[in-house]
Chains A and B, each alone.
Chain A
Amino acid sequence: MSEKFDVIVVGAGPAGTSCAYTCAKNGLKVLQIERGEYPGSKNVMGGVLYRKQMEEIIPEFWKEAPLERPVVEQRFWMMDKESTVSFGYKGLEWGKEPYNNFTVLRAPFDQWFAKKGVEQGVLLINETVVLECLTENGKVVGVRTDRPDGEVYADVVVLADGVNSLLAKQLGYHKEFRPDEVALTVMEVINLSKDKINDRFNLEDNQGCTIEIFGDSTKGNLGTAFIYTNKDSINIGVGTTLSSMIKAKLKPYDLLDYLKTHPMVRPLIEGGESAEYLAHLIPEGGYHSVPKVAGDGVLLAGDAAQLVNAIHREGSNMAMASGTMAAETIIDAKKRGDFSETSLNQYRETLYQSFIIKDLEKYKDATHTFEHYPQYFKEYVPMLNRAASKFFTVDGTPKKEKQKEIMKSFTSERGTIRVLQDMYRAWKAVK
């Protein structure tokens, strides 16, 4: 005597809720099942929320959503042991409507977002684990949860259950990860007064800053570190691929401690109080790792579909966009009365024509390149630092001579041909 819904969404993260919300808004009967105590309790994200994709779901969401700070400055650091070459952009236009990005804390944000879904009519159930998809003749017809009488049926099941989607694995849509397909990121939330944050990051109230760090933050391995400003706390974290971790014998929390005590970072978080430790896996495989995203009666969205652009640290926007696209396909499928793979492949097409897959395709060789050729992080970043130091140190050497010296320092260490090869390769990977 189990109930039947139009859609069952597994997961109440950005992908799941975007899908659930959109379906419910269009009159579909939606059941959303979340394994955590509340939406966001099991989610970890560095913290950047992208306005554009969120706005497409809820216009002017910034008026009521629990957001931390609108990001007005994005900095990038190529960090060495005691120095950093940085560049970035600060634009006050980002501090005003319609804004660009925001820093958010996942728990309050996900809860708010899920609540909006409930207001649209989504039935949200927490603290419940979906154990497997129910299938009939190869078609997904529902899910089985870990609760007594735990089977529920639906026309379509959307798997938005995160990077480690066991459900997707059970269906055979993707295999066990290779260690170079996922990154392990650890993060700490450090409480720091609003004024201190404003002072140290050169911000005013309601202005935020993000810093992406490469190089010494991951001890020269492939990966990034980040520092994001919340209202009165800082998110600081670092991540690298599992394969790098294994190869370089790194321990994630050691990396984080190293980062926190790094001379470039320590003054920013001095006096702060550690509030929370979090760790999560992030899809890193990019284009090559995207699994089958549509089947008979089933769709995959968000991290479950490995939709993360690590180079640009974009994941939550892809999650939201893919969740919305999945919803749109389901709405059309319902009109057609056809929930077969052929019908649901509308989602696949939309996805592949969107910025999501297009961007992943652009960078499809990037992770692999940077992983396989360690010199980019291990050697070029320090070299860049030394070059910059040399260039900007006033020591009486004529500028032209300095330039020559610097060029030589690059090429002498690696040989001119190798340098050109490296540059060409990098360009190809990110073009």
Chain B
Amino acid sequence: MHIVVCVKQVPDTKIIKINPKTNTLDRRSAPAILNPYDAHAVQEAVKITKTIGKGTISVLSMGPPQAVAVIKKSIEIGADRGFLISDRAFAGADTLATSYALSKALERISKDMPVDLIICGKHAIDGDTGQVGPGIARRLDIPPVTNVIEVSELNEGEKTILIKRKITNGYELIQAQVPCLLTVEKEINSIEYSPMPNMIKAARYEPVIWSVNDLEEVDRTQLGLKGSPTIVGKMFTPPKPEGGKRLEGNAEEQVKQLMELLNDKKELFVSR
């Protein structure tokens, strides 16, 4: 059983500070972390291999050299090995070019050890698109199942996997053929506090780093900025709506005024 988890290094949007003058991210204030959904993806891979009692977990990431940190973080969670594809040629990639690059790396990984399952996080917290996972699945011609909240059963003999997929107000129980690609929600599992031996292993681990030249049969026109059909045309500040009325005074006075206003607008509170 060979599971590959795709992971991404992202700025920690929880503690992001915006520079109010330039309206841009104060990158100094946002340390880079392993995309939270991807951490759950790695944890799920660990859970699966533990359940069946065997398996290899590889992680794959596309990013700048410092993205090795998320490979190491994945090893802490329990992955066995990691690959980073890093090259200037990948820069400026939109989701289409990204899924292309990652699929090429997956082809190479699959050559040494056939891949049975690919797991991705639902989306990255910096882009929020959720488009790369299904994109990779299409390029490798394997079925994608998105928004997975539980991997119920893995039938190695029949090569099928039973999955719960989240939908509004419930879930679907889906049986998919393996190999397939899953994108997972955070609620699929909780991240375990890694045992010390994992931490030491991760501290020692040197990820495999590939440049474009290490991938085979790559069509460079499909990489990076060149391979991206979408570009940012312009940035603009949205038209500012007219600000409303400020309630003045100290806390008591403000609350009093607010109560009066609410009383005036009582009809808004009546149920439809």
Contacts and interface: CB of A to CB of B under 8 A. Distances in A.
B204 A152 contact: no
* Count class of interface residues, chain A: 10 to 19
Interface string A297-308: 000000000000
A146 B203 CA distance: 17
B195 A148 contact: yes
B195 A125 contact: no
B170 interface: no
Contacts, number: 38
A147 B200 contact: no
Contact of A128 (B31, B196, B197, B204): B196
Contacts of B194: 147-148
Interface string A301-332: 00000000000000000000000000000000
Nearest to A38: B31
B137 to A, nearest CB: 33
A145 interface: yes
Contacts of A128: 196, 199
A125 B31 CA distance: 17
A123 B203 contact: yes
Nearest to A124: B203
Contacts of A150: 195-196
Contacts of B31: 37-38
A395 interface: no
Contacts of A123: 200, 203-204
B56 to A, nearest CB: 21
B228 to A, nearest CB: 33
B269 interface: no
Contacts of B200: 3, 31, 123, 125, 152
B196 A145 contact: yes
A93 interface: no
Contacts of A136: none
B236 interface: no
A151 B199 CA distance: 12
A152 B203 contact: no
Nearest to A150: B196
A3 B197 CA distance: 8
Nearest to A3: B200
Interface in B190-217: 193-197, 199-200, 203-204
Nearest to B202: A125
A329 B171 CA distance: 63
A37 B14 CA distance: 15
A363 to B, nearest CB: 38
Interface string A103-140: 00000000000000000000111001000000000000
Interface in B180-197: 193-197
A31 B203 CA distance: 9
A12 to B, nearest CB: 12
Contact of B195 (A3, A38, A124, A147): A147
A254 interface: no
A38 B193 CA distance: 16
B203 A125 contact: yes
Contact of A147 (B199, B203, B204): B199
Contacts of A176: none
A125 B195 CA distance: 12
Interface string B230-259: 000000000000000000000000000000
A349 interface: no
A350 B31 CA distance: 39
Contacts of A148: 193-196
Interface in B149-201: 193-197, 199-200
Given A31-B200, A150-B195, A150-B196, 9 more contacts: A3-B197, A123-B200, A123-B203, A123-B204, A128-B196, A145-B196, A147-B194, A147-B196, A147-B199
